[in-house]
Amino acid sequence: MAFKVTILIITTTFLSFISSTCSQQITIVDSTDCSNRWIHIRNIPPRYNLDLLTNCSEYPLFDNYCPYLANHGLGQKTHNRSHSWYRTDPFLLELIFHRRVLEYPCLTPDPDTADAIYLPYYAGIDALRYLYGPDVNVSVDHGADLFDFLQIDEPRIWDRNMGHDHFLVMARPAWDFSQPVDSDPPTWGTSFLELPEFFNVTALVPEARAWPWQEHAVPYPTSFHPSNLAFFDSWIQRVKRSRRNTLMVFAGGGGVAATPNIRRSIRNECESNSSSDIVVINRGYSRVCEIVDCSNGICEHDPVRFMRPMLGASFCMQPPGDTPTRRSTFDGILAGCIPVFFEEQSAKAQYGWHLPEDEYGEFAVFIPKEDVVFKGLSIVDVLMGIPRGQVRRMREKVIDLIPRVMYRKHGSSMGLRTKKDAFDIAIKGTLQKIKSRIDRLLDQ
Ligand SMILES: *[C@@H]1O[C@H](CO)[C@@H](O)[C@H](O)[C@H]1NC(C)=O
Ligand SMILES: *[C@@H]1O[C@H](CO)[C@@H](O)[C@H](O)[C@H]1NC(C)=O
Ligand SMILES: *[C@@H]1O[C@H](CO)[C@@H](O)[C@H](O)[C@H]1NC(C)=O
Ligand SMILES: *[C@@H]1O[C@H](CO)[C@@H](O)[C@H](O)[C@H]1NC(C)=O
Ligand SMILES: *[C@@H]1O[C@H](CO)[C@@H](O)[C@H](O)[C@H]1NC(C)=O
């Protein structure tokens, strides 16, 4: 009971903060140039966002996510003396994003002058009742009620650009919202992204579908959320100084069944000794490989379990699992650990705004999974074939990417705001995407 009360207090604080900020609608007039960057926050009833959080313990098949709501979705600090590390659950990106939009410098109360309209709908959280709850048999309806609201309440806001200027965050892989509307019996997912009603709306998701569609991928949140430049810089120094005694690390689960797959191949290579191990040791590493067992979600809210090994390794394995992408890609970058990808869908085809597509050769290694699983290509051999100087340059490039993939804490210092973080880059990309859609619309 005591637990539930705490959560309600957290929720209420969040609520009162949001309502006070919204009612004032302060537009911060500083030196920021807001032309082409104005955002209007669409006013929607709390049943589409904050009210949903009161049911945070109602979905045992998913998880009780009440503990992760603290700090506007960043979660609780990992320990009392921590400045920048939180027990962040990536599914709460909708809250994290909402809180950050509230301090975006170019908000306007006037939808007519806005370049983009933000829908503060917690789509992924609302999806839980369709995915794991009482509405599992009507999952094609996800979004229908919201669409009706948007048509009835101040319809001119939608009509102005037929929804092409609206955007929202959906903190689950797009796959979870892509159930065909006519699938009978219902398959996994809701049909939100398959409803023609929402085709014009830009959705920011941690993983997009393989073909170009209305969604765009943004980084999964990690556990690192610094609030000022000093905390940020001290982490960067730690990453740069870290001694990397291990060649490669894999933090994750899976690969234990007999069926051949890339996770199993990684495990096999880590668990067996081969002649190339001698070469690795001669290169100054004290071990070839480390596996951090993250099965059953034990690592998810406990970043120290995987950050420490990643800080001590040169390369981080980022194999696909149930879906091609993983949060671990961003944890690894944060640790200055060079990502090793096994399919293009894991990152290159996803995060074009945040990880420059034409520079992958400079900060990542790509090894096609088929070559490893079916042709016996050794990952260790590939990594050992990269000259030391190149490994050092790649690591420097990875470290340069850190600000781009982190979500800094809300209310952070002006100094840190000069670093464009994952949120800033997502907003910039969204504004450009919306502008090009509307330009195309005007051309017709
Ligand atoms: C919370 O869950 C209860 C029981 O399933 C449901 O009746 C209620 O509508 C839910 N509230 C929200 C805001 O979803
Ligand atoms: C952290 O601080 C809170 C409040 O000051 C205290 O109740 C709690 O025991 C502390 N936890 C630890 C692990 O020190
Ligand atoms: C959904 O439909 C299936 C098959 O008709 C049924 O067995 C199940 O009880 C339904 N679930 C809910 C929550 O209504
Ligand atoms: C989406 O935009 C197209 C024009 O590009 C328009 O014909 C259609 O009606 C719009 N859909 C909705 C639901 O507004
Ligand atoms: C691999 O090498 C280590 C260290 O030399 C040794 O302790 C271990 O038993 C070896 N394992 C196998 C499977 O040969």
At 22-64, the pLDDT tens digits run 444 444 445 679 999 999 999 999 999 999 999 999 998 888 9
**Mean pLDDT computed over every residue of the chain:** 92
Q: Is the CB of 160 under 6 A from ligand 4?
A: no
- Please give the residue range of the domain that contains residue 298: 232-405
**90 falls within a domain:** yes
Give yes or no for a contact between 202 and 214, defined as CB atoms under 8 angstroms apart: yes
Residues lining ligand 5, Cβ inside 6 A: 272-273
* Residues 205 and 247 placed together within one structural domain of the fold: no
Q: Are both 399 and 426 inside the same structural domain?
A: no
Element (H, E) at 12: helix 2-24
Same domain for 179 and 271, yes or no, is no
Domain count, the chain: 2
Residue 66 has pLDDT above 80, yes or no: yes
Ligand 3 atom with the smallest distance to the CA of 135 is: 13
pLDDT in tens, 302-353: 999 999 999 999 999 999 999 999 999 999 999 999 999 999 999 999 999 9
φ, ψ dihedrals at 252, nearest 5°? 170, -175
Residue 53 placed within a domain: yes
Domain shared by 309 and 383, yes or no: yes
Is 365 domain-assigned? yes
Question: How far apart are alpha carbons 192 and 180 in whole angstroms?
Answer: 9
Confirm or reject: Cβ of 58 under 6 Å from ligand 1. Answer: yes
Residue of 160, 172, 153 lying closest to 94 (CA atoms): 172
**Given this model, what pLDDT does residue 272 score?**
86
Kindly state whether residue 411 falls inside one of the protein's structural domains: no
The answer to whether position 132 is within a domain reads yes
Question: Do 388 and 425 share a structural domain?
Answer: no
Distance CA 40, CA 260 (A): 50
Same domain, 387 and 248: yes
Element at 31 (helix H, strand E): none
Whether residue 141 is found in the same domain as residue 218: yes
For residue 227, tell me if it sits in a domain. no
* pLDDT tens column, 190-222: 999 999 999 999 999 999 998 878 999 999 999
In a domain, 410, yes or no: no
Q: How many of the other CB atoms lie within 10 Å of CB of 376?
A: 8
Answer yes or no: do 307 and 288 share one domain: yes
Contact 208, 175 (CB under 8 A): no
Identify the CATH number of the domain in which residue 269 sits. 3.40.50
Does 284 reside within a domain? yes
Would you state the pLDDT for residue 30? Answer: 54
pLDDT band at 105 (very low <50, low <70, confident <90, very high): very high
Per-residue pLDDT, averaged over 266-272, amounts to 92
Residue 250 one-letter amino acid: F
Q: What residues pair up with 20 in beta bridges, in sequence order?
A: none
- Residue 444, pLDDT above cutoff 70: yes
**Which residue minimizes the CA distance to atom 14 of ligand 4?**
162
Look at residue 365 and tell me whether its pLDDT is greater than 60: yes
pLDDT of residue 31: 61
Tell whether 47 and 184 lie within a shared domain.
yes
148 and 260 co-located in one domain? no
| Domain co-membership, 83 together with 194 | yes
**Looking at the structure, do residues 200 and 302 belong to the same domain, yes or no?**
no
Instruction: Provide the residue type at 197 as one letter.
Output: E
